[in-house]
């Protein structure tokens, strides 16, 4: 049993602590609310005044940095108001060149440069972000040095800021350290990809030529992934072609992704022949990427092979194959007929669905009046089979259009009897 | 005999005291963690790249799934708010789960939808689909009409149709803030460990004034209804310190089905939402833990405190009682259906600490609370307990509750401050105090009822009727 004295002590202590905490929280809330209301009201007023003055000064061609009215001590309300205005004006086309210089002249750049070595991670990350938003080219060397920081939050921020500032130095700074950063999982491949995308095609030569990390398959796969998101380039295609036979699944898949994104830009001899074996890769996502690459390469001779993938064990591959076949158009008609007269309901549905999505039935209806008798017959058969499977929306919509033509007559008969013949 | 009875009574009273003492300690730890983490998160938002993600093609596509059953009054607002989301690539799939009112027709008319042919493939088994509706004018909207199978079945149907790697479940009576989806996605994009689910804050929409488009908040205000005010305080407490605290401990067991984001493949691998469970959201999270821990793969389930989804809350006791019984029953079902994890070292801290906490404090807690109050007071009047013990009990059960409720209001005030007026602050504070004198005890009673329902095998979905936006929207207030 608890001693009565102890119980009383527990009660008193608990009540006292709770009362004290409640009072502290209550007072903090009240004071903070009142303080913030006053502060933000003042900030809004200052922003209105400074925004007008800043625009007028910049429009007149003068450099506001030379005027004392824009100079203020760090952390003052005026300092914060001017910073907010500068970060807003930098996004406007007519001020975008002047504002970075102004940020430097008014002392913002040096202020944040000092803070990027602060002990607090958040202060470092926030300062790095500010320098990026101010597009401070002079800060690039300091930011690059910060890529060696151990904190992922800070390093990710540095990569983003360097990409915002732009320029060769910033880009090389990132790419040189890319293998290490990716290998140590300090920056996610997604964040890296996003950052390098802003350098556009300029990043390709450095990415293709950088040698460090080439012994690490994970890094190669990330580099290829990034290249697949940059504009199509023969150098990227060449690098991808080299890695098509890699033993690593991710590398093969990313290499195919580069080819898929590059379209039919090709400097590599017999590229389709290099891709074709990958349609039989044991890993489903490699087969999927292979279909996409073949489709981008417009290699229609692969149609029969893709037709076989309609029966693949992976639904993603089956869907992708169906899509690719509809893109190859009339060349795929024989394969469509084979599938639609077969017994695999899944394959039949996939083909019909993809045909509807790509407006292929419209093309088939047009084919009903072409002079090529074989093409006409095959198109009619496909339409009949689609209708028998319940894919009749296109036919109904065509009938609902104004005017009378022989195709409509055929469609009507087909819908009544199940055959247009 | 009398002596044994008295000793039993005294020991039960001690159990009640210990229960409240331990529970309050856990809540205090969660509160302290939440305070620290939210302040850190708020500072981090200042340099968060979420705005860049909004414009980036790297951001993965998401499908917003809205299951609806007889939601005629609110469905258009929900769809419009989902379509207005600021996100690079997303589709909205509405699953009409056998509505018997004009819900489907209302959507078809409002968006000029046409019936389309589409193949329905069932990775997850569901009730049959009757048709698909689509319009070229709103290409990222697809409506599926299916036979009634319940919310889980409808969500599974949406998962079958979705083509995105992630999906977001959204209730039909909810309003998503425009940047909520990208904010809830940000932890997934920033993380080196795969995040299989992520949830945001749900707040109560009643009392808000919307603009003419019906999807933008014009003015945040508090409702006049006393019950709703208690619920607002409760939501603030639950989301702001409860979930943030559990997230910090990497032990989240609940994400609200009203607004949560899931990695589709992980959900499909785990078997999809469980049909028959009345709290499909919680069961899904528990099963995701189980699935990932069994696979021994690294994963995270995250809660983010800044993305906001507003939802309608019941405004009368009968409906609120039904909702709370359903929630508690769902909690019991979810843990019971995954009982293999309990005290099983294979499931790490989830099996060894979090699930036992939920069983002893959340599931069985209402028994102690409902029996504890009268027991302690009667014991005092019968002279079995001293006044000191009674005061200790009241301090732990009531006074500490007042502290926790008001502390969560302070936390809201010091961080997000979504209720802007001084009067809002004081009103919420007052209701934070008052909720400990009746409202909390009624809640315990409903949870106690749910436990009884479970024990007698009456685990059915209790329908909660909400008034909908229609009437109040006409008056400009939701």
CA dist., res. B338 & res. B333, Å (int):
8
CA dist., res. B288 & res. B267, Å (int):
7
Which candidate from A29, A152, A197 shows the least CB-CB separation from B410? A29
Residues of A with Cβ-Cβ distance to B388 under 8 angstroms: 4, 7-8, 11
Q: Contact at 8 Å (CB) between A416 and A367?
A: no
Give bridge partners of residue B90 from the DSSP assignment: B62
The radius of gyration of chain A's CA atoms, rounded to the nearest angstrom, is: 32
Which candidate from A26, A129, A346 shows the least CB-CB separation from B410? A26
B239-259 residue pLDDT tens: 888 899 999 999 999 998 899
CA dist., res. B159 & res. B140, Å (int):
15
Which candidate from A33, A194, A393 shows the least CB-CB separation from B117? A393
Residues of B with Cβ-Cβ distance to A31 under 8 angstroms: none
Asked if B389 and A185 come within 8 Å (Cβ–Cβ), the reply is no
Which candidate from B57, B403, B417 shows the least CB-CB separation from A22? B403
B57-104 residue pLDDT tens: 778 899 999 999 998 888 898 899 999 999 988 999 999 999 999 899
Closest chain B C-alpha to A187 CA, distance in angstroms:
8
What is the per-residue pLDDT for A212? 63
The DSSP element (H or E) to which B17 belongs, if any, is helix B2-45
Which candidate from A126, A185, A391 shows the least CB-CB separation from B117? A391
> Which one-letter DSSP state was computed for residue B173?
T
Whether residue B471 is predicted with pLDDT greater than 60 in this model: the reply is no
Write a three-state SS string for B259-290: EEEEEHHHHHHCCCCCCCCCCHHHHHHHHHHH
**Interface-testing mutation among B16, B39, B54, B119, with chain A (most A C-beta atoms within 10 A):** B119
pTM of the model: 0.80
ipTM for the complex shown: 0.75
Residue with tokens 């009624």: B442
B170-179 residue pLDDT tens: 998 888 998 9
Residue with tokens 């095959």: A378
Say if A353 is an interface residue toward chain B (CB within 8 Å). Answer: yes
Tokens of B266: 């992980």
What is the per-residue pLDDT for B469? 44
What is the per-residue pLDDT for B475? 38
Residues of B with Cβ-Cβ distance to A25 under 8 angstroms: 406-407, 410, 414
Asked if A128 and B47 come within 8 Å (Cβ–Cβ), the reply is yes
Residues of A with Cβ-Cβ distance to B403 under 8 angstroms: 18, 21-22
CA dist., res. A183 & res. A188, Å (int):
10
DSSP string, A64-132: GGGSGGG---TTSHHHHHHHHHHHHHTTSGGGTTHHHHHHHHTTHHHHHHHHTT-SSHHHHHHHHHHHH
- The residue among B289, B59, B74, B277 whose CA lies nearest residue B185 is B59
Q: How many CB atoms lie within 10 A of CB A117?
A: 13
Surface of A (212-241) touching B: CB under 8 A: 229
Asked if B121 and A18 come within 8 Å (Cβ–Cβ), the reply is no
Asked if B395 and A346 come within 8 Å (Cβ–Cβ), the reply is no
Helices marked H in B192-338: 226-236, 244-248, 264-269, 280-295, 317-337
Asked if B400 and A190 come within 8 Å (Cβ–Cβ), the reply is no
Tokens of A199: 């350098």
Mutual orientation of helices B180-190 and A189-197 as an angle, nearest 10°? 110
- B interface with A, Cβ–Cβ below 8 Å: 10, 40, 43-44, 46-47, 49, 52, 56-58, 115-119, 121, 189-192, 386, 388-389, 391-392, 395-396, 399-400, 403, 406-407, 410, 413-414, 417, 422, 425, 429
Long-range contacts of range B424-432, CB-CB < 8 Å, 24 or more positions apart? B424/B220, B424/B221, B424/B222, B425/A29, B425/A33, B427/B222, B427/B229, B428/B222, B428/B229, B428/B232, B428/B233, B428/B236, B429/A26, B431/B226, B431/B229, B431/B230, B431/B232, B431/B233, B432/B233, B432/B402, B432/B405, B432/B406, B432/B408
Surface of A (355-374) touching B: CB under 8 A: 356
> Which one-letter DSSP state was computed for residue B206?
T
Surface of A (54-93) touching B: CB under 8 A: none
Asked if A33 and B119 come within 8 Å (Cβ–Cβ), the reply is no
What is the per-residue pLDDT for B478? 38
B353-382 residue pLDDT tens: 999 999 999 999 999 889 888 888 888 888
Whether residue B184 is predicted with pLDDT greater than 90 in this model: the reply is yes
What is the per-residue pLDDT for B459? 62
Residues of B with Cβ-Cβ distance to A26 under 8 angstroms: 406, 410, 429
Residue with tokens 């307990």: B385
Residues of A with Cβ-Cβ distance to B386 under 8 angstroms: 4, 7
> pLDDT tens digits, chain A, 421 residues: what are they?
556 778 778 878 888 888 888 888 889 889 988 998 999 999 999 999 999 988 888 888 776 656 677 888 888 999 999 999 999 999 888 888 889 988 998 999 999 999 999 999 999 999 999 999 999 999 999 999 999 888 888 999 999 999 999 888 998 898 888 888 888 778 887 788 888 888 888 888 888 887 666 677 878 888 888 888 888 888 888 888 889 989 999 899 999 999 888 876 666 667 778 889 999 999 999 999 999 999 888 888 888 899 889 888 887 788 888 888 888 878 888 888 988 998 888 788 878 887 887 778 888 888 888 888 888 889 989 998 998 888 887 788 888 877 667 778 888 887 776 654 4
DSSP string, A240-281: HHHTTT-S-HHHHHHHHHHHHHHTT---STTHHHHHGGGGG-
Which candidate from A8, A126, A194 shows the least CB-CB separation from B388? A8
CA dist., res. B354 & res. B349, Å (int):
6
Residues of B with Cβ-Cβ distance to A3 under 8 angstroms: none
Asked if B192 and A352 come within 8 Å (Cβ–Cβ), the reply is no
**Interface-testing mutation among A9, A19, A29, with chain B (most B C-beta atoms within 10 A):** A29
What is the per-residue pLDDT for B440? 92
Q: How many CB atoms lie within 10 A of CB B475?
A: 8
The burial of B157, by beta-carbon neighbours within 10 Å (0-12 exposed, 13-18 middle, 19 or more buried), is given as: buried
Say if A51 is an interface residue toward chain B (CB within 8 Å). Answer: no
B256-268 residue pLDDT tens: 889 999 999 999 9
Residue with tokens 């004290």: A20
Residues of B with Cβ-Cβ distance to A356 under 8 angstroms: 116-117
């Amino acid at each position: 049993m608890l001693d009565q004295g102890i119980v009383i002590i527990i009660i008193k202590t608990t009540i006292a602590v709770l009362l004290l905490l409640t009072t502290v929280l209550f007072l903090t809330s009240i004071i903070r609310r009142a303080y913030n209301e006053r502060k933000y009201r003042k900030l809004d007023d200052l922003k209105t005044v400074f925004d007008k003055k800043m625009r007028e000064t910049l429009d007149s061609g003068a450099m506001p940095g030379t005027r004392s009215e824009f100079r203020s001590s760090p952390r003052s309300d005026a300092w914060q108001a001017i910073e907010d205005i500068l970060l807003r004006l930098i996004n406007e086309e007519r001020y975008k060149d002047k504002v970075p210089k102004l940020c430097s002249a008014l002392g913002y750049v040096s202020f944040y440069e000092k803070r990027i070595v602060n002990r607090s991670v958040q202060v470092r990350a926030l300062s790095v972000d500010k320098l990026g938003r101010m597009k401070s080219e002079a800060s690039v060397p300091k930011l690059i040095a910060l890529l060696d920081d151990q904190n992922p939050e800070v390093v990710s921020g540095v990569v983003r800021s360097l990409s915002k500032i732009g320029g060769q130095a910033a880009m090389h700074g990132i790419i040189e350290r890319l293998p290490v950063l990716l290998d140590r999982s300090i920056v996610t491949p997604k964040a890296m990809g996003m950052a390098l995308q802003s350098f556009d095609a300029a990043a390709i030569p450095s990415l293709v030529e950088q040698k460090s990390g080439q012994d690490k398959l994970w890094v190669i796969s990330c580099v290829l992934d990034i290249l697949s998101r940059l504009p199509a380039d023969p150098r990227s295609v060449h690098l991808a072609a080299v890695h098509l036979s890699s033993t690593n699944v991710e590398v093969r898949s990313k290499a195919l992704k580069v080819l898929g994104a590059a379209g039919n830009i090709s400097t590599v001899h017999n590229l389709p022949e290099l891709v074709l074996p990958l349609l039989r890769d044991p890993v489903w996502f490699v087969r999927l990427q292979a279909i996409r690459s073949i489709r981008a390469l417009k290699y229609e001779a692969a149609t029969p092979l893709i037709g076989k993938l309609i029966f693949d064990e992976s639904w993603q591959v089956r869907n992708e194959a169906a899509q690719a076949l509809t893109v190859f158009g009339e060349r795929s008609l024989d394969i469509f007929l084979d599938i639609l007269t077969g017994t695999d309901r899944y394959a039949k549905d996939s083909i019909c669905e993809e045909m509807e999505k790509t407006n292929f039935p419209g093309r088939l209806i047009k084919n009903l009046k072409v002079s090529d008798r074989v093409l006409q017959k095959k198109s009619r058969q496909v339409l009949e089979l689609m209708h028998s499977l319940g894919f009749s929306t296109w036919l109904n919509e065509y009938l609902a259009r104004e005017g009378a033509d022989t195709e409509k007559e055929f469609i009507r008969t087909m819908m009544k009897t199940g055959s247009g013949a | 005999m009398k002596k044994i009875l008295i000793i039993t009574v005294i020991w039960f009273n001690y159990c009640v005291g210990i229960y409240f003492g331990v529970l309050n300690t856990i809540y205090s730890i969660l509160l302290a963690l939440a305070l620290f983490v939210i302040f850190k998160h708020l500072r981090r938002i200042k340099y968060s790249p979420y705005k860049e993600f909004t414009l980036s093609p790297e951001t993965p596509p998401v499908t917003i799934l809205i299951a609806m059953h007889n939601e005629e009054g609110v469905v258009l607002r929900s769809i419009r708010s989902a379509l207005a989301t600021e996100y690079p690539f997303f589709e909205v799939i509405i699953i009409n789960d056998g509505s018997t009112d004009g819900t489907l027709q209302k959507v078809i008319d409002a968006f000029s939808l046409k019936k389309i042919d589409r193949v329905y493939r069932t990775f997850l088994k569901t009730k049959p689909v009757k048709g698909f509706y689509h319009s070229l004018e709103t290409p990222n909207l697809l409506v599926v009409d299916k036979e009634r199978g319940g919310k889980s079945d409808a969500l599974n149907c949406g998962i079958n149709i979705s083509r995105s790697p992630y999906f977001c479940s959204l209730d039909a009576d909810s309003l998503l803030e425009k940047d909520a989806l990208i904010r809830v996605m940000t932890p997934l994009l920033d993380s080196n460990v795969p995040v299989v689910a992520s949830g945001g804050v749900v707040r109560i929409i009643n009392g808000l004034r919307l603009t003419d488009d019906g999807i933008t908040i014009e003015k945040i205000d508090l409702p006049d209804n006393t019950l709703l005010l208690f619920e607002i305080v409760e939501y603030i407490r639950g989301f702001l310190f409860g979930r943030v605290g559990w997230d910090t401990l990497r032990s989240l067991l609940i994400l609200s089905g009203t607004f949560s984001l899931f990695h589709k493949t992980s959900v499909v691998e785990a078997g999809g939402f469980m049909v028959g469970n009345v709290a499909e959201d919680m069961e899904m999270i528990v099963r995701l833990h189980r699935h990932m821990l069994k696979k021994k793969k690294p994963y995270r389930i995250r809660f983010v405190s800044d993305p906001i989804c507003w939802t309608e809350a019941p405004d009368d006791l009968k409906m609120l009682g039904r909702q709370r019984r359903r929630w508690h029953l769902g909690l019991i079902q979810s843990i019971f259906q995954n009982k293999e994890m309990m005290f099983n070292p294979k499931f790490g801290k989830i099996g060894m600490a979090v699930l036992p906490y939920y069983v002893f404090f959340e599931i069985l807690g209402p028994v102690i609370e409902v029996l504890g109050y009268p027991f302690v007071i009667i014991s005092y009047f019968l002279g079995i307990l001293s006044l000191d013990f009674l005061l200790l009990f009241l301090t732990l059960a009531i006074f500490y509750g007042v502290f926790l409720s008001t502390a969560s209001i302070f936390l809201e005030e010091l961080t997000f401050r979504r209720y802007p007026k001084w009067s809002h602050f004081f009103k919420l504070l007052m209701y934070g105090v008052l909720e400990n004198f009746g409202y909390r005890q009624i809640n315990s009673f409903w949870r106690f009822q749910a436990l009884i329902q479970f024990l007698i095998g009456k685990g059915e979905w209790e329908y909660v009727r909400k008034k909908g936006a229609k009437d109040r929207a006409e008056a400009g207030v939701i």
